[in-house]
Amino acid sequence: MKFTNRLLIGAALVTLPALAFAIPISITNPTATFSNASPADHTNYSAVDGSTTNNQVRWGVPTPYNNANTGGEQSGLKFDVTPPPINGDTEVPFDLGTLTHFNFEVTIPTTSTTDLAFGFDIFGQTLNFGFSLGIDETPNGGNAANCAFQPVLTRSCPDQITFPNAFSTTSFEHDGLIYTLKLLGFGPDADHIQNGFITQEDQANTTDLWAVITTQRIGVPEPNGLLLMALGLLALGGTVQLRRKRAAKKA
């Protein structure tokens, strides 16, 4: 009886293998491209800092300022990919690159969303994926106490860039494994990731975009399925033991 229980418990543990295991990865040819800004009025795209794609989007009609250093600029976003190769391990967050938010006073209507698409090569395959960024262009001027985010040294409300709460993942197969790319969010490092960041008016603010690649063996059930299977085996062991005890008492 004890042997049977040990066997069932052992089978349950075997059924719950460690699916998360680190595998060295190397990402090459990373690109970032902005598109589909909405509304599209007074919006333009450009390739800057040596990029081969439109890695910058600008929007809005600039509001003149007395400050010659900031007057007349559009608001906008720029993404600089991490220089290749991006070396690391699966199951460990890595830095896709740096997002810069240019926040200047522009007239409305202004852009409220824009798509950001990525591409890179890994294990000889080219992955393409993307998502939409939210742009919260707050009213300029007025009472600072009414700002959603507290202004610093300016009369205008800061603006916010938001990361989507949900988006599709990207998966591919290689050498008997399913690799899944997941975007995590913004942050200065992998331990401080958030779904948004703010930029003071008349300033440029930067943050990093983090992602992770997870692995799973082809044909292995998802962790939830494995857990249910293990619990079922343990329950079966308990039932067998209970029946044997009852049979022993009757004997």
- Record the pTM: 0.76
Mean pLDDT of the chain: 80
**pLDDT at residue 229 greater than cutoff 50:** yes
**In this predicted structure, what is the pLDDT of residue 9?**
41
55 versus 195: the higher-pLDDT residue is 55
**In this predicted structure, what is the pLDDT of residue 169?**
83
Tokens read off for 103? 């926040």
- Give the contacts of 99 (CB within 8 A, at least 6 positions apart): 77, 78, 79, 161, 186, 206, 207, 208, 209
Helix, strand, coil shares of the chain, percent, nearest 5, are 20, 45, 40
**In this predicted structure, what is the pLDDT of residue 105?**
83
What tens digit of pLDDT does each residue of 90-139 get? 999 999 999 999 998 887 667 899 999 999 999 999 999 999 999 988 76
**pLDDT at residue 151 greater than cutoff 90:** no
DSSP designation for 201:
T
**Element spanning 132, H or E:** strand 125-136
